[in-house]
Amino acid sequence: MQAVSNTPKPPKPAKNRKRINLALQGGGAHGAFTWGVLDFILEDGRLEIDAISGTSAGAMNAVALADGYTAGGADGAREKLEGFWRTMSDAAENSPIKRAPIDVLMGNWSLDRSWGFHALDAMSRIFSPYQLNPMNMNPLRDVLEDCVDFSCVRSCHKIKLYISATNVETGKVKVFDSRHLTSDMVMASACLPNVYQAVVIDGVPYWDGGYIGNPALFPFHSGSDTSDIIVVQINPVERKGIPRTPQEIQNRVNEIAFNSSLLKELRAIDFVARLIDEGKLDEAQYRRERIHIIGNQDALIPFGASSKMNAEWAFLTHLRDLGRETAQAWLAEHFDDVGQRSTVNLREMFMGVGPQHQG
């Protein structure tokens, strides 16, 4: 377990710090990987967070960070993040959704042999959450409200938050900002429609923001003067092989759907950069975004989609440590690039075409 020091550390000298925006994907328990990335960034101190756009688990990481940061700076944010994920794990301790004994014995984190996981999956395909849970009980809401002081989140002026949800009626993205943020808005961002009833805010029903913004990048264009965006990626864009079982097919459909909006925004960012390079857009009026990605798909993909519902503390801390290691390696290689150039070739990585300008 990564200990958080009670002694506040002085911030890095301003001249050595670089301002960035963070885009945090949703992904259930895999959001603990993002926790680890954030934990290392906060501990390292060389990156100054200007704004965060988050969806689902990314939104929960964002509000926990903002709450802790308002009360106690970087160390307070680290402590709050750990407390949130610890409480999440404690709340799931008596859940029937656990690894099968053979997987515990073999050290597999997947829930593919969990009877509780398969029972829930089967029921959600036959009955809606309005039939299965007419009282609309949601233990995740209890965890969120127990751990996060939203008055602190709303008063966090140092870091701006943008939380995405999907408007059920229009299919459009709704971005809630930190000035008026409530627990309902965060729950809307994490509302999987086959598991939870839609979250109604001001008469409008919302589902998980991943369908239309996982996470949304466009709020940074007008809400931040920082051009460096670091996407913390936990959902694989590419997965080799053909899905064959009903569960594998549905999981892959969800991955594609939850990545599509992000890929569209990255394509638009690349398009603007190319028009600037060709002299068709004035760089004084259009901003060139510098894109970076911190992710470790080689490590995350083998866990399988079912492990996104595994809230065991041992698994969450394993993911956290993986996130810390990944962030540490990324910063060691790319810190000098921040503020200078993108570290991702968008056209080559996401669209399968040739090299592009990396400025």
Q: Give the integer Cα–Cα distance in Å for 310 and 273.
A: 40
Q: Are the CB atoms for 269 and 358 separated by under 8 Å?
A: no
Whether 347 and 353 have beta carbons less than 8 Å apart is answered as yes
Please say if the pLDDT value at position 19 is more than 50: yes
Contacts of 26 by beta carbon, 8 Å cutoff, 6+ apart: 54, 55, 56, 57, 58, 59, 189, 190, 208, 209, 210, 214, 215, 234, 235, 258
**Which pLDDT band, with edges at 50, 70 and 90, does 92 fall under?**
very high
CA–CA separation, 275 vs 286, rounded Å?
10
Cα distance between residue 43 and residue 49, in whole Å: 13
Q: pTM of the predicted model, to two decimals?
A: 0.91
The H-or-E segment that residue 156 falls in is: none
For the ranges 62-71, 81-90, 234-243, 347-356, the lowest mean pLDDT is seen at 347-356
3-state secondary structure of 293: strand
Q: Which residues contact 10 (CB under 8 A, 6 or more apart)?
A: none
pLDDT digits over 303-359, tens only?
988 999 999 999 999 999 999 999 999 999 999 999 999 999 887 765 554 333 333
Residues 6+ apart with CB under 8 A from 197: 129, 130, 133, 136, 191
Would you call the peptide bond into 355 cis, given omega within 30 degrees of 0 as the criterion?
no
How many CA atoms lie within 13 Å of 180's alpha carbon, on the beta-carbon side? 5
pLDDT for residue 236 is more than 90? no
Name the average pLDDT for the chain.
90
pLDDT of residue 25: 96
User: 12 with 45: CB under 8 angstroms?
Assistant: yes
Q: Concatenate the DSSP letters of all residues of 108-153 into one string.
A: ----TT-HHHHHHHHHHHHS-HHHH-TT---HHHHHHHHH--HHHH
Instruction: Specify the pLDDT at position 291.
Output: 96
> How many Cβ atoms from other residues are within 10 Å of residue 326's Cβ?
20
Cβ count within 10 A of residue 102? 9
The pLDDT, as a whole number, for residue 32 is 98
Express the helix, strand and coil content of the chain in percent, nearest 5 each.
50, 15, 35
What is the rounded average pLDDT of the residues 39-48?
98
Mean pLDDT of 122-140: 91
Q: Pick the closest to residue 235 from 219, 211, 218, 217 (CA basis).
A: 211
